[in-house]
Amino acid sequence: MDKRMKLSDFLTGSVNLELAKLLIAFAEGCKVISHLVNNAGVSDIFGAHAPDFTNVHGEEVQKLDHLTNKILHDYLAAAESCAGYISEETEDVTYINDTGNYVVAMDPLDGSSNIDIAAPVGTIFSVNERLSPIGKIQLSDFLQKGANAKAAGYVTYGSSTVLVLSTGKGVNGFTLSTGDNDFYISHPNIVIPEKGKIYSINQGNISKFGDDVRGFIDYCTAVDNNDSRPYRLRYIGAMAADMHRTLLKGGIFMYPANKGEAKGKLRLLYECIPMAFIVEQAGGEAIDGKMRILEIQPSDFHERCAIFTGSKNLVQKVAEFTKG
Ligand code: AHG
Ligand code: MN
Ligand code: MN
């Protein structure tokens, strides 16, 4: 029997009851996703949702993208404190409970193309307190700067399922026990190593990057024995999994602007802000190249944002290139 603290006990002791209920409900949904992902092969849920079925970004929707959104919808709907959510998989706001005090932004299944090869995938989310009075939530409730978030987290479904969460008082990680199907604290008070030696980027895009990012990649790959360079390159292709490594081992994760993607690929509200919130809470940094991601004023649910995030030494170094 594991004597570690359960997620539900941790939350009820550290945030108000409404927020705790919402986060516990969300985590329950992630447990279901974990089992679904582990059993993808036997449940015939590989591949595309339906022929020519694309999401708001024009990307082919996988069966699991669709299913995971539905699962999290149902758990959020059961949590009375959730007024509504936005998701990578839905174009507009989904309204849930007009009297709820919180709204959620979520990427239900991150790195979904990894599913077919049994590689890690994730879920990413953040929670805002509503600004509007009780009644139908407003767009402005979602379009808040990341610095205002009340909670953010991700789950990585890898060799184990780990939920990493911050409610603005540091960062903690919880592992899903296959024994009793509960999340137990496994990574208390995560602090990102100040000096990282791993860089993470889709380097296949190098010819599409600007001179600034190319200059930083040259820096990472140059030989310098005093600085452990060349640094190691690691890229899983699921942000949640790449960020989990970055958080625990140190390093930098990047998805820069490039030819054809003026603001990169990743989405501000449900990928970049949650990760920036967690990384900053763990003592690291997150910028879009020019400014702190948590200070960006969002203007659209599905807007994209370039991201450079991780250990201080590497984010500050890349900023020397991107800020010119
Ligand atoms: P999603 O599956 O939610 O669309 O996210 C995929 C994202 C992200 O997880 C990952 O970091 C990135 O796409 C990988 O993109 P590239 O294949 O362009 O490197
Ligand atoms: Mn994603
Ligand atoms: Mn996704």
Q: DSSP string of 49-70?
A: SSTT-B-TTSPBPBHHHHHHHH
Please tell me what DSSP assigns to residue 6.
B
Q: Residue 63: what pLDDT? A: 82
Q: Is the pLDDT of residue 137 over 90?
A: yes
Q: Is the pLDDT of residue 1 over 50?
A: no
- Residues 54, 84: one domain? yes
CB of residue 239 inside a 6 A radius of ligand 1: yes
Q: Is the pLDDT of residue 262 over 70?
A: yes
Residue of 243, 261, 241, 259 lying closest to 251 (CA atoms): 243
Burial class (CB in 10 A: 0-12, 13-18, 19+), 133: exposed
Residue of the nearest CA to atom 3 in ligand 1?
110
Q: Residue 50: what pLDDT? A: 65
pLDDT in tens, 161-175: 999 999 999 999 999
Q: Pick 40 or 127 by higher pLDDT.
A: 127
Does residue 159 contact residue 166 with C-beta atoms inside 8 Å? no
Q: Residue 49: what pLDDT? A: 67
- Residues 208, 283: one domain? yes
Q: Residue 286: what pLDDT? A: 99
What mean pLDDT value characterizes the chain?
95
- Residues 306, 225: one domain? yes
- Residues 174, 297: one domain? no
Phi, psi at 98, each rounded to 5° = -60, -20
- 198-200 and 252-255 strand pairing: parallel
What's the rounded mean pLDDT across residues 74-91?
96
- Residues 68, 172: one domain? yes
Q: Residue 47: what pLDDT? A: 67
Whether 43 is covered by a domain: the verdict is yes
Whether 281 is covered by a domain: the verdict is yes
- Residues 30, 167: one domain? yes
Rounded to whole angstroms, how far apart are CA atoms 179 and 189? 24
- Residues 155, 294: one domain? no
Whether 123 is covered by a domain: the verdict is yes
User: Ligand 3 centroid vs 197 CA: distance in angstroms?
Assistant: 28
Nearest ligand, measured from the Cα of 115: 1
Which residues have C-beta within 8 Å of that of residue 103, sequence separation ≥ 6?
82, 83, 84, 85, 86, 127, 128, 130, 137, 141, 142
- Residues 126, 258: one domain? no
CB of residue 304 inside a 6 A radius of ligand 1: no
CB of residue 288 inside a 6 A radius of ligand 1: no
What's the rounded mean pLDDT across residues 232-260?
98
Q: Residue 188: what pLDDT? A: 97
Percent of the chain with pLDDT over 90: 89
Q: How many domains does the chain have?
A: 2
Residue of the nearest CA to atom 18 in ligand 1?
202
Angle of helix 239-249 relative to helix 273-281, nearest 10 degrees, comes to 10
Residue 321 CA to chain centroid, in angstroms?
A: 25
Tokens for 207, please give them. Answer: 């010819």
Q: Is the pLDDT of residue 41 over 90?
A: no
CB of residue 280 inside a 6 A radius of ligand 1: no
User: Ligand 3 centroid vs 267 CA: distance in angstroms?
Assistant: 10
Q: Residue 45: what pLDDT? A: 73
- Residues 65, 111: one domain? yes
Q: Pick 176 or 64 by higher pLDDT.
A: 176
Task: Find the domain containing 275 and state its range.
Answer: 198-322
